[in-house]
Amino acid sequence: MEAHKIIVAIFILALASSLTLASDPSPLQDFCVAINDPKGSVFVNGKFCKDAKLAKADDFYFSGLHIRKNTSNTFGSTVTPVNVAQMPGLHTLGISMVRIDYAPNGGLNPPHTHPRASEILVVLEGTLHVGFVTSNPDNHLISKVLYPGDVFVFPVGLIHFQYNIGNTYAVAFAGLSSENPGVITIANAVFGSNPSIDADILAKAFNLDRKMVKNLQSEF
């Protein structure tokens, strides 16, 4: 009986530990402004910290999210990130954000995942069809058409997208639950990896002709 209790206790502790590690760790100090110089610095969560006494307002500041970005590209969308790379004061705070611009009539933020963050998105301009797909075995599509002022959330790690179905530019802002959420664009990762995934593997995985796979790979 005692052995059973010990096993249950270990299981609960393991579960609690996994939940604790499911997002950025909580900071043990007010802030940790990320710097590249290791001299006289503390190393926290993958980056060196500036001496807190030397922190300045610009470490916690970013300007430019009011500017519409050029969407003349393959997908008709542009993502402007504000994460720890752009704002070093975000380090250890567990948050970041992006502005997303979409071209009229089909601007697409293509199917992708954020391996380290959930995302909450608010539409400022335009009309977006958004959605995410649940994990195996259901692979259930949950989608919605959003208008200005509407908010939608994408759970961590799940494939999701946004698509401009309107005839005007669309703009959205999104918050993410990590200073460095990461992004994996599905098509780029699968067909544009370096080095390339063997065409026979992709042909079998996607039930495609090998020649078609090679053509797709040449596009990325």
| Binding site residue list | 109, 112, 114, 119, 160
- Helix (H/G/I), strand (E/B), else coil: 121: strand
The number of beta carbons lying within 10 Å of the beta carbon of residue 150 is: 15
Residues 49, 72: Cα–Cα separation, whole Å: 38
Cβ partners under 8 Å of residue 146, min gap 6: 121, 123, 127, 128, 129, 130, 152
Amino acid at residue number 162: Q
In the annotated binding site for oxalate, the residues are 109, 114, 119
Query: E strands within the chain?
Result: 34-35, 42-44, 47-49, 77-82, 96-102, 108-113, 119-125, 128-133, 141-146, 151-154, 159-164, 170-176, 184-185
Annotated binding site for Mn(2+): 112, 114, 119, 160
Neighbouring residues of 3: CB distance < 8 A, sequence distance ≥ 6: none
